[in-house]
Chains A and B, each alone.
Chain A
Amino acid sequence: MAFWRRNTHIEKERHVKANARDYNDKFSYADNRIKTSKYNIFTFLPINLFEQFQRVANAYFLVLLILQVIPEISSLSWFTTIVPLVLVLVITAVKDATDDYFRHKSDQQVNNRQSQVLIRGSLQNEKWMNVRVGDIIRLENNQFVAADILLLCSSEPYGLCYIETAELDGETNLKVRQALTVTSDLKDITKLMDFDGEVICEPPNNKLDKFTGTLYWRDNKYPLDNEKMLLRGCVLRNTEWCFGMVIFAGLQTKLMQNCGRTTFKRTSIDKLMNTLVLWIFAFLICMGVILAIGNTIWVSWIGRNFQVFLPGEEFQSNAVFSGFLTFWSYIIILNTVVPISLYVSVEVLRLGHSYFINWDQKMFCRQTNTAAEARTTTLNEELGQVEFIFSDKTGTLTQNIMVFSKCSINGQTYGDVYNEFDEKVEITEKTACVDFSFNPLCDKAFKFYDGSLIEAIKLEDLAVQEFFRLLALCHTVMPEEKSEGHLVYLAQSPDEGALVTAARNFGFVFRARTPETITLCEMGRAVTYQLLAILDFNNVRKRMSVIVRNPQGQIKLYCKGADTIIFDRLDPSSEALMYTTSEHLNEFAGEGLRTLALAYKDLDEDDFEVWMKKLLFASTVIENREDQLAVLYEEIEQGLKLLGATAIEDKLQEGVPETIACLNLADIKIWVLTGDKLETAMNIGYSCNMLRDDMNEVFVISGHTLLEQLQLKILNSVTHRVSSVGDVEKTDMFADDSVFEEAIIAEYALVINGHSLAHALEPQLEHILLDLACLCKTVICCRVTPLQKAQVVELVKRHKRAVTLAIGDGANDVSMIKTAHIGVGISGQEGMQAVLASDYSFAQFRYLQRLLLVHGRWSYFRMCNFLCYFFYKNFAFTLVHFWYGFFCGFSAQTVYDQWFITLFNIVYTSLPVLAMGLFDQDVNDQNSLRYPSLYKPGQQNLLFNKRQFFLCTLQGMGTSFLLFFIPYGAFSVMVKEDGSHFSDQQTFAVTIATTLVIVVSVQIGLDKHYWTAVNHLFIWGSLTVYFAILFAMQSNGIFGIFPSNFPFVGTARNCLSEKSVWLVILLTTVVCVVPGLVVSFLRVDLFPTLTDKVRHLQQSRKKEGPQEQNLRRVRRTSSRRSAYAFSHQQGYGELITSGKNMKMSTVSSAGSPGRTPHSSTWIENMLKRKNEVPIKNMII
């Protein structure tokens, strides 16, 4: 499979011949087997070990191990290092192996999928992995495309087929692919068998939207482009079958080429930890040097003379050399200040925290059946330090569901509900919605609350009828009617779907269309309109029109579009109506609704004839066709008569304003980066409370000019204004309303569009932009490209030293998700691309609140506590050797038993600290959400920084000092109760070791805030295990078996049965713990942090019993802004009039005969997609 990798020559051009395996084999192209796994059974051990020893920590411990084997240096037995090292290696290897096993499984599953390949004149089922370049394969509806294939023909007319590319680019709308005309006739197998075209094309690359090649067949050349390609990862939709020729297979497919290795993200704690570890190494070396010098002195003063009883070997008689050896011996002994278990424990904690995120029910979305997922398990604590959030808009803040919410018809608004006192009633779920039962074809999901519109319809108000007729006629929606009355619309944009559905419910049901006709069911009567022309939408026109001939023979033009555009083209007679409608539009816009104006025009038969001729002529012109058409369209779309306006609600996701408000309180800055228009973006900004009317100023930068000077000016002036306000805010700016000056904290917002951003991101301006943006409370960037999104994130990341989080749902957010410190994908909306690139994924924006304020905060808190304690513990543990060095001739004699050194970190003290790191909570989740300010210490890095590190190592050193010198004082003269001498090394070791275990257990008890049963179990369990192992290892039995490995036999028994030893232990424990206790008590008592206060409150609450929580309410402010949005693509009109996509309507009217039972409809697909397991495993 990795054949192509071994190929040293770079493929410049690809030659593929259909149905010619022998020919294609010459080139040794990759076959269709994919392999994402790293190992197999035989390579696992060497490769995995090699990888593991590339890590600095592991390599370091390997070096230590080697040092320990040298007998002159070895101050510790080899097992003290090898046991933890092996444990770590084994755990990591097991994890790698399981990961790889699942990769193998998913590879295998994908490789073993069946596909139908044309071999030797017949279709044969082959596994995917056996498909080869040049093969012709048959795909059926809803199948994944097996490789990158050239579409040859399909079941649909004109060789069309529909695909869904959600896996590739995140877009859920169907895309059309069309085969070459010459190949689209090859519909039966014999013809396909004879197909021997040769494709010469570009070599494999990762560009999803580009393909260039040529098909040579029957002495003709046919150009190929991306529109004829079906890429691996796509799904065939609404197409019964199609045939294609494999061009790229396996790892050379565009999908696989796009599976770039994502850069490994590290958290700031990680980086800090690395720095600290370096410091500790430096400290270690210092201690080693001190002790080595001590040894040199000792050897020259005492050791030289002590040779009577302790002869040095020849080379050791040299004091300096002895010092040198001692240095290494001490490096070995003192290495436990950075124990290997630190790295393992940190990973375990992060994994645990990730599981807690995965398990959180409150981040589970029932609608989409998706739970939150921590896809990266190494970033959790960073979630507690986020300062900037970069959010996408569509699909993230909004649901991308459009709902027909209000309308204005002939100067009359509909959609609001009033009660008997003529007061507006807020629409809630209890509000009775309009009964559409009169209409058998209605969409039951559609809801409308204002009954007066129905009455107007029933009264046969002409304007209202015309209004809905327009909505039913003027669009590019495709209907699908699988069974009688069961209509499904395939809309290109959700806006359009919403409008047509509204018309449908109000009795103007769009039923069917052919290239020449549109059939409506108007109030139960089938009416067929002749479709004369579609004047398609584009971004410049911002409108679309249809020209139809109604059954009465009248020709009518129906137009819908942006209000400003429509208002410019109105007949003077509509002027009065225009003003009222305009007012209504402002009202709608103020509620954050997306508006469209509707107008119509009666056309004169003759005029139309003339125009139509011009149109036909223009559409055959090659040059400037677009422009000519535009002129023609412009010509006929004049003198329109206004009908009214529609207002569509771009539904926000649940809880978005509340979440944003909450995150704001936590001092998290939220920037919205969207590809949407300025107006839409601002609207959403207002509706989710990011922009407010009470803000001092909203700066809008939307220059379209390319003049940098101008940009500079704007930016400078704005910066100047803001900074002057920032500096002397109370004097300048608010001189007028000085009454409020005390209360007002300057709040600004910045809205900037893509053009301006492109300039502002240039090196000389980016600082100004950043400073300016950081002065603002809200920043919205609209019309930005995916690349710009990443640039903005990069800018903040580079200059602000703050943790950034990017959240988005679509393929266009991938770059920003990958760039930010933390990427969050919204799952279950628009495909998987963002989720696949993300570190965390969940279904709704509002879960971000919980992810950050609860999980992030906890993770950070726990990790910091864990690290502080861990460093403390190991300093206390290890530095005892340092002090002992002064009393044992700097000979690197250990204080403890070697077994104790081996087991201390991995057995005796690992579980309590892990339990603390996993379960500790200072404040419960409700209060974490309730007091978002609790999040701030994380942003300011207060819980674990260099200062904290010094404090905890200092505490560790102090403890080690006391741990050594109190027993030293006691043991200088100590005898047993039976008078036998007792100040021997083994007793000393057992006493100090026991004291150490007790002290660190007591200390963790004091550091712990949340004592669950597990914590109790682990702490008491660890103590029990310590004593059990102690006695077991010093028992007669084990000594009898291995006398040279367990020389401590009987020490524990003799030692711990002495009262004086226990008195020493008690004294040492109290002395070690009390100072820390005093300090933390004073801190809590005199300078309580918010956390302490909330904890206090929480406890007093608990005593009082549960209280009713007062709920924070965020109200949307209303203000008048105009909005316009029409998320449309150009080109669908042409597709409709050409009739290429008409198969569905013809079939549906015939009651769908001839369709295979599993042919599926759009709605079914959509539903299936909803229920499907995340497809990430399936596509690779």
Chain B
Amino acid sequence: GEINKTDQHQYYNEWIFGLEKGSKRIAAMMATSYNAKEEDGHHSGASSHGAAGVVKSKKPDNTAFKQQRLPAWQPILTAGTVLPAFFVIGLIFIPIGIGLYVSSNNIKEFEIDYTGVDISNPCYSCAKNFSWNSTTPCVCSMNFTLEQPFESNVFMYYGLSNFYQNHRRYVKSRDDSQLNGDQSALKNPSKECEPYRTSDGLPIAPCGAIANSLFNDTLELYHIDSNNTRNTIPLVKKGIAWWTDKHVKFRNPGENLTAAFQGTNKPVNWRKPVYELDPSDPDNNGFINEDFIVWMRTAALPTFRKLYRIIQKKSNTTPTLPSGKYVLEITYNYPVLSFDGRKRMILSTISWMGGKNPFLGIAYITVGSICFFLGVVLLIIHHKYDTRSNSADIPN
């Protein structure tokens, strides 16, 4: 009974306390209006809780996170921040653009179409008479003149147009495990390779439409010197693929290629099996043949160029490719006319930002100018029509 009584007393006190607090609060409210900060302040109420009747306060924690008071940076768009940004963008972009444009213009590039669409084209007959079954390769040569000498390393590309290397069914028609030298994938290529998965009951290595359509024209370049003699220009065929592709992504299934590819068939369109792509150099044969690797890296757009050969700079005194007459000899193996494709050979030097492409330079100059111009326009608008006044007109 005794305990009960004291308990009850505590309850009672607490109750009264609460009431007092309440009425005080109300009185305070009337005088000062609602100011919630008042609640944060004192915790004195806790001490009055009796030992028996202690109820855990459900008061939420007063942390900046829970009370949504996290310190924060609150930027606002003002003329003072936005306009300088425009000017800065303009001032940065225009020089970059000019730099890009100039260096792009300094790049020497020569392009020649050897598809053989016109009768005038030396490759016309090769193109017309193309047959998958022909045993003798059709060779044609094209003469061309370089007006300016090409300094330093020159890169030789082949370009294809209207060739949909990025078609979904084409893109997926390969087996990366097989190309990585996986034995099981070699013998049992992925279904994605259909319809170039097997031929004559044997698995195709490398399987798939991409490999099957490997670009197999052979391009050779001759310089015609003043005596009208044809000098072969040495073309380097290694170092044209990405390092990662050559060393990581593509691997031969074994050291002895002939043995490794035993039991597989060559792709339908190929004239020779994969292990004979470059019999002279075991480091460039089989799946790690660089021409093959380059081809296997499918292009993003239907018109594309791929690196074919590198013409190394010989000495500092003579240009790699002096101006003058040249002959391009093509072993015409690759049919593109049926789908209205085009084949090109491109010679190009490069600069610090890659190949010749005026797009970026022009784009930078344009964007930079527009930003600068916008900055000026906005500045004028801001000064002329600024309607923001300070807090005075905020309705309460």
Contacts and interface: CB of A to CB of B under 8 A. Distances in A.
A1094 interface: yes
A846 B371 CA distance: 51
Contact of A1009 (B74, B244, B340, B393): B74
A1050 B242 contact: yes
Given A359-B67, A1010-B72, A1097-B394, A983 B300 contact: yes
A899 interface: no
Interface stretch (B9-17, B120-128, B136-144, B280-288): B9-17
Interface residues of A, number: 138
B255 interface: no
Contact of A310 (B36, B155, B164, B367): B164
Contacts of A359: 60-61, 66-67
A1040 B310 CA distance: 30
A446 to B, nearest CB: 10
A931 interface: yes
B363 to A, nearest CB: 6
B378 A985 contact: no
Interface string B149-178: 000010101000011111111110101110
A982 B354 contact: yes
A483 interface: yes
Contacts, number: 382
A1136 to B, nearest CB: 26
Contact of A1036 (B59, B171, B244): B244
Contacts of A1039: 180, 248-249
B348 to A, nearest CB: 8
A114 B42 CA distance: 42
A1096 B76 CA distance: 8
B318 interface: no
Nearest to A1008: B75
Contacts of A1009: 74-76
B19 A1053 contact: no
Nearest to B358: A973
A1074 B371 contact: yes
B218 interface: no
Interface string A925-937: 1000011010000
B213 interface: yes
A302 B336 CA distance: 12
Contacts of B79: 1081, 1085
A933 B22 contact: no
Contacts of B338: 305, 308
Interface in A991-1021: 1009-1015
B350 A1088 contact: no
B166 A313 contact: no
A674 interface: no
Contacts of B179: 1043
Contacts of B168: 75, 329, 888, 891-893
Interface string B7-46: 0100110111011111111111111111110011000010
Interface in A1102-1128: 1109, 1111-1114
Interface residues of B, number: 141
A658 B60 contact: no
B204 to A, nearest CB: 14
Interface string B85-116: 11001000100100010000000000000000
A601 to B, nearest CB: 37
Contacts of B305: 973, 981, 983
B259 interface: no
B310 A367 contact: no
Contact of A980 (B31, B33, B93, B241): B241
Contacts of B68: 356, 360, 858, 919, 921, 925
A1095 B364 CA distance: 35
Contacts of B301: 887, 968, 971-972, 983, 988
A279 B134 CA distance: 57
Interface stretch (B219-227, B319-327, B381-389): B381-389
Interface in A645-678: 651, 654-655, 658-659, 665
Contacts of A370: 58
With a 10 A CB-CB cut-off, give which of A892, A919, A974, A1088 has the most chain B CB atoms: A974
B235 to A, nearest CB: 13
A969 B386 contact: no
Closest 9 CB pairs of A and B: A1050-B244, A988-B300, A975-B355, A309-B213, A359-B66, A891-B168, A305-B339, A893-B168, A979-B155
Interface of B: 1, 4-5, 8, 11-12, 14-16, 18-36, 39-40, 45, 53, 55, 57-62, 66-68, 70-79, 82, 85-86, 89, 93, 96, 100, 153, 155, 157, 162-171, 173, 175-177, 179-180, 182, 185, 190-191, 194-195, 209, 212-213, 239-245, 248-249, 294, 297-307, 310, 335, 338-340, 348, 350, 352-357, 359-360, 363-364, 367, 371, 374, 378, 381-382, 385-388, 390-391, 393-396
16 contacts: A75-B168, A303-B167, A361-B59, A371-B58, A654-B26, A658-B29, A973-B305, A975-B348, A977-B354, A980-B242, A983-B301, A985-B166, A1050-B244, A1086-B386, A1092-B388, A1100-B390
